[in-house]
Amino acid sequence: MESSDFSREAFGDKALDTVNGDIELKNVRFAYRNKGYAPVPVIKNMDLHIPAGQSVALIGRSGCGKSTVLSLISRLYEPNGGTITLDGADISTLNQDTIRNSIGMVTQTPYLFSMSLRDNFRLVKNDVTDEEIVEVCKTACVHDDIMRLPDGYDTVIGEGGSMLSGGQRQRIALARALLRDYPVIMLDEATSALDNETQATIRDAIENMHGKRTVVMIAHRLSTVVNCERLFYLENGKVLVSGTHAELLERCPEYRRLYSEEASA
C-alpha cells in the first residue's frame, strides 16, 4: 500500500448531474509497463464510439485488448495517450463519485459475502425494499433459483457465495448492478458460467434494457452477443470493423471464422 512503484489513483473535480452513457475513445493508446521490462502495447490509436442506451459487444481473439478497454473506460487503467469521454466530458476531469456511480462492472468471478442474500443486496443499497430486490433478481433470471434455497433470500450463502453455482453468482452480480441503476453496465465474461437456456434469458433481459442504460459486453461465446446493436471486432489493439452480427459475417472474414469455429464446436 505504501509502495512508490505504483501511482496513486487521482480524479478530477467535475461532476455530471445526469449521465446518459455516451462513451467515446479517440486515438487511445495503452501499454502494460512492468519495472525492468519494455512496455507491451495493447491498445493502439483506438477510435470507438458507443451511443447512450445501446447494447454493444467487444469481440476478438484472446489478448486483443477487450478487457483492457473496459478497464480504461472505468478508469481502473489510465491511457498513455488519446482521450476517453463520458457524455462528452473527458473522464480524467470527472470526480470519483461521477465515475464510480455511473459505471458498474460485472466480472467473470464476482464476489459475494458470507451473509444472507438479502444482506448482500443491502450492501449495495442500504434502503432497498424487498420488492426492489425481487424485481432485479427476476430481471437477472435468478429469483426462481433463490426461492429454491433453504431460506430463500434469507439464506446465508457462505464465503464468496460458496453454496451457489458459478452461474447463480454471476446472475446475482448482474442483479446487484441493476439495483444500483448504473447508466453504464459493463459485463466482462459475466455470462461464462451460464448454460445455454439461461444465457438466452439473460440476452432477453439485456435487450429489455435498450434505451434505458448503456451495456458493454465481452463474451466468450458469440451466441451471447449476436443480438447486440453493434459489435466491435478488435485486432492488434484497434477496432478492425464494427457493425451488426449480419454485417460482420458479410464484411469481416476474421469474425466469420471465429463464428464458424464456435458453431462447429
- Which pairing describes strands 55-59 and 230-235: parallel, antiparallel, or unpaired? parallel
Protein fold of 17-102+184-196+211-265: Rossmann fold (3.40.50)
Residue 187's H or E segment, with its range, is strand 184-188
Q: C-alpha cell of 184?
A: 453504464
> Would you say the CATH fold of 108-181 matches that of 17-102+184-196+211-265?
yes
Give the predicted TM-score (pTM) of the model: 0.87
Q: What is the pLDDT along the chain (265 residues), one digit of tens a residue?
A: 576 666 667 889 999 999 999 999 999 999 998 877 888 899 999 999 999 999 999 999 888 899 999 999 999 999 999 999 999 999 999 999 999 999 998 887 888 999 999 999 999 999 999 999 999 998 888 899 999 999 999 999 999 899 998 888 888 988 998 898 899 999 987 666 566 776 776 677 677 666 778 999 997 778 888 888 999 999 999 999 999 999 999 999 999 998 888 877 6
Architecture of domain 108-181: 3-Layer(aba) Sandwich (3.40)
Phi, psi (rounded to 5 degrees) for 234: -100, 140
The C-alpha R_g of the chain, in whole angstroms, comes to 19
Dist. CA 230–CA 251, nearest whole Å: 14
Would you kindly state where each structural domain of the chain is located, as residue ranges? 17-102+184-196+211-265, 108-181
